[in-house]
Amino acid sequence: MKLDEAQSKMQKTVEATQQAFNTIRTGRANSSLLDKVLVEYYGTPTHLKSLANITTPDATTILIQPYDKSSLNLIEKAISLSDVGLTPSNDGSVIRLNIPPLTSDRRKEFVKVAAKYAEEGRVGIRNIRRDGIDSIRKQEKASEISEDEAKDLQDKLQKLTDKYTARINELLAEKEKDITTV
């Protein structure tokens, strides 16, 4: 595994962690809360964003306007069954999701969820490092690179690991601040 390859994989892991953070409620309306909602549309699980226009007219409301009015009930059902924790209200042409203010207990739960996502991201980065070190050791064993080169590559890989782990920790701190800010 080359360092560039490891770096791009680590960057993708950080981006995936960021997307996971976006699905956590912070007390404000945010259309990314619905990123993981899949709607059974003509027998195919389809992302909600592909079926409707999602807007946030104010800080406590998410407005979902389906492109196909016949999918309104399907969308409402999918949101009800999802783990978003919001109750949709259907007025016949749009679906409104009202975001209730978060209680302090709920905020603590969301901080724990964010910490879990961050740990998953850090584990992913460490796994990439482990794979990279294994690859370097195989190259060294096969006499493709010298012992000094192997040591140098491992040090560079560790620096990349530290950099991306620190980035995940920064994102976690930002998300915790978002969640705990009333």
- Residue 140 and residue 161 in one domain: yes
In this prediction, residue 69 carries a pLDDT of 86
For 143, the token pair is: 């006499």
Q: Domain boundary residue among 44, 68, 98?
A: 98
Burial of 155 (0-12, 13-18, 19+ CB in 10 A): exposed
CB-based contact 33:21 (threshold 8 Å): no
The percentage of the chain sitting over the pLDDT mark of 90, rounded to a whole number, equals: 35
Average pLDDT of the segment spanning 110-135: 93
Q: Domain boundary residue among 37, 63, 98?
A: 98
pLDDT at 134 over 70: yes
- Residue 129 and residue 78 in one domain: no
- Residue 42 and residue 10 in one domain: no
- Residue 64 and residue 77 in one domain: yes
- Residue 175 and residue 110 in one domain: yes
Give the range of the structural domain holding residue 118, as residue numbers without chain letter: 3-21+103-180
- Residue 55 and residue 72 in one domain: yes
Instruction: Convert the pLDDT of each residue in 72-102 to its tens digit.
Output: 888 888 888 887 777 888 888 888 888 877 7
Q: Domain boundary residue among 98, 117, 142?
A: 98
- Residue 77 and residue 122 in one domain: no
- Residue 61 and residue 112 in one domain: no
Euclidean distance between CA atoms 151 and 85, whole angstroms: 49
pLDDT category at 171 given cuts 50, 70, 90 is very high
Per the structure, how many domains does the chain have? 2
Q: What is the CATH number of the domain that holds 154?
A: 1.10.132.20
pLDDT category at 182 given cuts 50, 70, 90 is low
Instruction: Convert the pLDDT of each residue in 17-55 to its tens digit.
Output: 998 888 787 767 777 778 788 888 888 888 888 888 888
CA geometry: angle at 123 spanning 16 and 110, to 5°?
60
